[in-house]
A and B are shown apart, each in its own frame.
Chain A
Amino acid sequence: QKEVEQDPGPLSVPEGAIVSLNCTYSNSAFQYFMWYRQYSRKGPELLMYTYSSGNKEDGRFTAQVDKSSKYISLFIRDSQPSDSATYLCAMWKGTYKYIFGTGTRLKVLA
């Protein structure tokens, strides 16, 4: 079993929809949870990071962590075609490396 599981998609939604992206994990040692956005053939770009269970909001993006269920989510409100990208969750347990999910491909249709 992988330490981090993420549905690879693709996920297609109409412009303006609310998007929900999710990851599950198996290692309770993970302390920090990150979401990266990666456009095609580009490097990952950090969107948000969270530490504790609960919600964190930044503009149209909300990150949610449920440590009891080992489940994290990223919500995108009022999705735009420019949000079309691959979204990667990443987790850190206080050591040097991140463990990434496989990424979910999102396409927002105009």
Chain B
Amino acid sequence: DTGVSQDPRHKITKRGQNVTFRCDPISEHNRLYWYRQTLGQGPEFLTYFQNEAQLEKSRLLSDRFSAERPKGSFSTLEIQRTEQGDSAMYLCASSLALGLETQYFGPGTRLLVL
């Protein structure tokens, strides 16, 4: 399968714990995005990378959130000291920065904070 993959698909954690999600983009894509989607809403932009550089972060991304993309390949999104309000689907997308950047999404990681 050459699409975007995410791991884990589901995560249940207790409030205050740290969690880390991984995204593997389509191999030739140089841009990688993280979005968050809550029930009944469309995806909301969190951050994006061009190669290994994190170029933009949304105001939605509090100090408890950090994302990395070492070597411009896979990316991780870490949430520290999780809160119940962090419960959501975390989506990763990738694109090739060439003309229209068609973004292809992964299956998402569904986080539930108890």
Are B104 and A46 touching (Cβ within 8 A)? yes
Our pick among A42, A51, A98 for the contact of B103 (Cβ within 8 Å) is A98
Collect the chain B residues with CB atoms within 8 Å of residue A49's CB: 100, 102
A contact residues, total (Cβ < 8 Å) = 25
State A41–B109 Cα separation when bound (angstroms).
9
Residues of B within 8 A of A (CB): 4, 6, 31, 33, 40-45, 48, 55-56, 89, 91, 100-108, 110
Our pick among A34, A92, A96 for the contact of B48 (Cβ within 8 Å) is A96
State A91–B91 Cα separation when bound (angstroms).
17
Q: For chains A and B in complex, what number of residue pairs have CB atoms within 8 angstroms?
A: 58
Are A42 and B108 touching (Cβ within 8 A)? yes
Which residues, 80 to 98 on A, are CB-close (under 8 Å) to B? Answer: 88, 90, 92, 96-98
Collect the chain B residues with CB atoms within 8 Å of residue A98's CB: 43, 45, 103
In this assembly, does A59 line the interface, its C-beta being within 8 Å of a C-beta of chain B?
Answer: no
Which of A13-21, A67-75, A100-108 lies at the interface with chain B?
A100-108
Are A44 and B91 touching (Cβ within 8 A)? yes
Given contacts A41-B110, A43-B91, A97-B33, are A103 and B42 in contact (CB under 8 A)? yes
